[in-house]
């Protein structure tokens, strides 16, 4: 386990934005409670509370990856009316203590879904 610091900063802040995630014509998530995770030089990522996601539209996969700063990530696929978007969502179900704020949140690959910032 690595701790974020000056050489690899990670910040988690409330986004303060209305975020909607869609796959085709299916709304996968809609929230005003997302947090923004900014890690080193990577693009910022919205993490959306699982409670604000349509969990009936997703299926857990066997994929697991490891981040030395956040922990083990689990993945979900999304089934739309015409295709399956494999491993389009990741989540840290038991993140390392420094990343506790992303527990019970989902993140989405922007090349697999549409992530919109809606007017307040």
pLDDT over threshold 90, residue 120: no
Cα separation, 53 vs 105, whole angstroms? 9
63: closest CA among 98, 89, 26, 101? 89
**What was the pLDDT predicted at 105?**
98
Q: What is the mean pLDDT of residues 41-69?
A: 97
Say if pTM beats, i.e. exceeds, 0.85: yes
Tally the residues of the chain: 120
**What was the pLDDT predicted at 104?**
97
pLDDT over threshold 90, residue 106: yes
Question: Cβ-count burial of 90 within 10 angstroms (0-12 exposed, 13-18 middle, 19+ buried)?
Answer: buried
């Amino acid at each position: 386990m690595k701790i974020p610091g000056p050489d690899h900063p990670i910040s988690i802040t409330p986004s303060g934005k209305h975020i909607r995630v869609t796959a085709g014509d299916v709304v996968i998530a809609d929230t005003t409670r997302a947090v923004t995770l900014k890690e080193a030089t990577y693009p910022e990522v919205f993490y959306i509370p699982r409670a604000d996601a349509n969990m009936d539209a997703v299926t857990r996969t066997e994929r697991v990856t490891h981040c030395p700063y956040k922990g083990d990530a689990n993945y979900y696929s999304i089934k739309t009316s015409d295709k399956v978007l494999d491993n389009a969502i990741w989540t840290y179900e038991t993140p390392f203590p420094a990343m506790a704020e992303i527990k019970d949140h989902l993140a989405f690959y922007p090349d697999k879904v549409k992530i919109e910032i809606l007017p307040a």
